[in-house]
Amino acid sequence: METNIQTVEPVIIAGLNTGQEDFDYSMVELAELAQANHMEVIDRIDQVIDRPNPATYFGKGKVEEIRDVADANHIPTIITNDELSPSQLRNLEEGTGCRILDRTALILEIFATRAQSKEAKLQVQIAELQYRLPRLQTSASERLDQQTGGGSGFTNRGAGETKLEMDRRTIQHQISHLRQELADIDKSEQTKRKQRAKSAIPTAALVGYTNAGKSTIMNGLVRRYGAAEEKTVFEKNMLFATLDTSVRQLTLPDQKRFLLSDTVGFVSKLPTHLVESFKSTLAEAANADLLIQVIDYSDPHYKEMMETTNETLKQIGITDIPMINVFNKADKTEIEFPILEGDDQVVISAKQDASLDLLVDVIKKHLFKDYVTTTLLIPFTDGHIVSYLNEHTNILETKYESNGTLLTVEMSVQDYQRLGKYEKN
C-alpha cells in the first residue's frame, strides 16, 4: 500500500571502488534503490582501494570519516554498495554507530514492502530469513557478559551459544515451514500452467531490467488485444513496481491467440537467495515459447542492463528459449522508431500504437511460425466446424459451393491435425 504521507529516512550511501568498470553506475543505481525504499540520499562516500578490509569492509580511516559525516548530519543509516559478511556488518555498525544496510538487505526491504500476493510474500520472507541466518548474533548485553566474564564467563558463554543455537533452529524451522507453504501454492500454479499448456496457446514472457517498460508494453497490448475481462497491470516509474507474475490472453485481429506474461524485473547484484526464491514466479518465463527482453534504450547503461538480464536468466536456468530484444523508450532518444532490425530486434516506444503493432508482427513471426495455410471444404451439415474456424483461425477466403463451404484458412498445427480430414485436394 502506498500512502501519501511517507516519512523519508535520510541515509548515506557508501561504496568501495576496487577498479570495477561499472562502479559509478552501480552507485547511481544504489541511490535509486534507496529512493525506491523511501530514503533520501544525503551524501555519497567512496573509497578507492584494492580490496575490501576483511574486518570492516572500508579502511579504518574511512570508517571514521563515515561516522563523522553521519554524526554531523544526524544520519542514522548507512547503505553499502555490496553485500557484507556478517562480521563486517557487525564491526561497521560498531565503528560508525549507525545502522548498516547492505545492498542485499536494501533490496530485500524493497521487495518486502512491495510484495502483494501470498506467493511473493512467502518468497521474500524466505529470502529474508536466509539472509538473517548467518547474521544472527548474541545480543550486545550477552556479548558484554562474555567479555567481562563476571566470575563465571564460561557458563555465560555457554548460555549465549545456546540462545543463538535456539534462534538458528527457530529460523531454520520457519524457513522450511514457509517453503512448504510455497510448494503448496506452486502446485496449484503448476496445474494452471499445465492447463494452459494443454490448451496449446503459445506463450510469450516479458523479461528484463526493472523499470524497462515491461508492464507498460503488457498494458498497451492488453488494451488493444485483450478481451474486456483482461485487466491491465500496475506500471510505475520506480524500481520493482512488479513483483508478481500476471498472465493475459491476447487475440489478434487474425484470430491468432497467445498468452503474455509480465513478471519481476532484474537489477545488478540481485541477491542470490532472492533469485532462488523467485524461481517459481519466474517459472512462467521458463515455460514460455518466446522471451521478449525489454530494454530501456534511453538509459546510457542499457548494455550493462542487458548483460545483467542475460546473466540472471542463465542463473535461474533459462537458457534455450528463443528471445527477441525490444529496445524501448526510443521516444526519449534521438533514434528513429519504430524500426525492425533483423528478425528479432525492434526499436520502439511502448506508448505508441505503431510501435506495438510492429512488436506484435515480430512476436507473431516467432510464435506462429509453423502455422499452416490450407483450403478446407466443410459440408453444410458440419456448420459447427465453420463456427469453430471463424473463432479460432484466420480465414483468408470463403466460397460457397454446392457441397459445402470452401475456406482458405491459416491455422495451428494442432487444428490442422484435427481438421485435416476436411482438406480439399
Ligand X SMILES: Nc1nc2c(ncn2[C@@H]2O[C@H](COP(=O)(O)OP(=O)(O)OP(=O)(O)O)[C@@H](O)[C@H]2O)c(=O)[nH]1
Binding residues are 208-215, 240-244, 262-265, 328-331, 349-351
Q: Which one of the spans 27-35, 73-81, 282-290, 326-334 is the region binding ligand X (CB under 6 A)?
A: 326-334
Residue closer to Mg ion by CB (options 242, 261) is 242
216/308 with CB nearer ligand X: 216
Stretch that binds ligand X, among 245-253, 349-357, 397-405, 417-425 (CB under 6 A): 349-357
E runs forming strands in 81-232: 99-102, 203-208
Asked if 331 interacts with ligand X (CB under 6 A), we say yes
Alpha-carbon distance of 271 to 275, in angstroms, equals 6
Residues 179 and 422: their CA atoms lie apart, in Å, by 51
Question: Taking CB under 5 A as the criterion, which residues in 331-390 touch Mg ion?
Answer: none
Residue 307 and residue 328 in contact, taking contact as beta carbons nearer than 8 Å: no
Site residues (CB under 6 A) for ligand X, limited to 288-317 = 294
- Integer distance in angstroms from the first to the last C-alpha of the chain? 62
Q: Is 329 in the site for ligand X (CB under 6 A)?
A: yes
In sequence order, what DSSP letters do the residues of 1-27 get, joined into one string?
---S--PPEEEEEEEEESS-TTHHHHH
Does residue 13 belong to the site contacting Mg ion (CB under 5 A)?
Answer: no
Which residue in 70, 101, 175, 241 binds Mg ion (CB under 5 A)?
241
Residue 331 contacts which entry, ligand X, Mg ion, none (Cβ below 5-8 A, type-dependent): ligand X
One character per residue 259-288, x = contact with ligand X (rule: CB under 6 A): ------x-----------------------
Amino acid letter, residue 262: D
Q: Does 356 bind ligand X (CB under 6 A)?
A: no
Q: Which residue is nearest to ligand X (CB)?
A: 265
141 lines the binding site for ligand X (CB under 6 A): no
Residue 239 partner contact from ligand X, Mg ion, none using kind-dependent CB cut-offs of 5 to 8 Å:
ligand X
Q: Residue 352 CB, nearest distance to ligand X (Å)?
A: 7
Residue ranges of the binding site for Mg(2+): 215, 242
Q: Which of 118, 177, 303, 332 binds ligand X (CB under 6 A)?
A: 332
Interface residue with ligand X, options 56, 80, 203, 210 (CB under 6 A): 210
Of 102, 119, 235, 415, the one binding ligand X by CB under 6 A: 235
Tell me how far apart the alpha carbons of residues 365 and 370 are, in angstroms, rounded to a whole number.
9
Q: Which residues are annotated as part of the binding site for GTP?
A: 208-215, 240-244, 262-265, 328-331, 349-351
Instruction: Establish if 245 lies at the interface with Mg ion (CB under 5 A).
Output: no
- Among the listed ranges 43-51, 67-75, 94-102, 213-221, the one in contact with ligand X (CB under 6 A) is 213-221
Tell me if 293 sits within 8 A of 323, measured CB to CB. Answer: yes
Do the bridges between strand 404-411 and strand 394-401 make them parallel or antiparallel, or are there none, so unpaired? Answer: antiparallel
**Backbone φ, ψ for residue 78 (5° rounding):** -115, 135
Integer CA distances (angstroms), 297 to 208, 229, 264, 300, in order? 12, 32, 19, 8
Q: Contact 176/182 with Cβ under 8 angstroms? A: no
Position among 62, 103, 121, 214 found at the interface with ligand X (CB under 6 A): 214
Computed from CA positions of residues 229, 230, 232, 233, in that sequence, does the dihedral angle turn out positive or negative?
Answer: positive
Which residue in the set 212, 292, 318, 385 belongs to the binding site for ligand X (CB under 6 A)? 212
Question: Which partner in Mg ion, ligand X, none is near 160 (CB below 5 to 8 A by kind)?
Answer: none
* Contact predicate 378/385, CB 8 Å: yes
Torsion of CA 237, 239, 243, 249, to 10 degrees: 40
Three cell numbers written together for 314 = 542463465
- 92, 350, 363, 419: which one contacts ligand X (CB under 6 A)? 350
Residues near 292 by beta carbon (within 8 Å), at least 6 away in sequence? 204, 205, 206, 207, 217, 323, 324, 326, 359, 363
**Residue linked to cell 556488518:** 89
Does the footprint of Mg ion cover residue 246 (CB under 5 A)? no
Q: How many residues bind ligand X (CB under 6 A)?
A: 23
Binding-site ranges for ligand X (CB under 6 A): 210-216, 235-237, 239-242, 265, 294, 328-329, 331-332, 349-351
Binding-site ranges for Mg ion (CB under 5 A): 214-215, 241-242
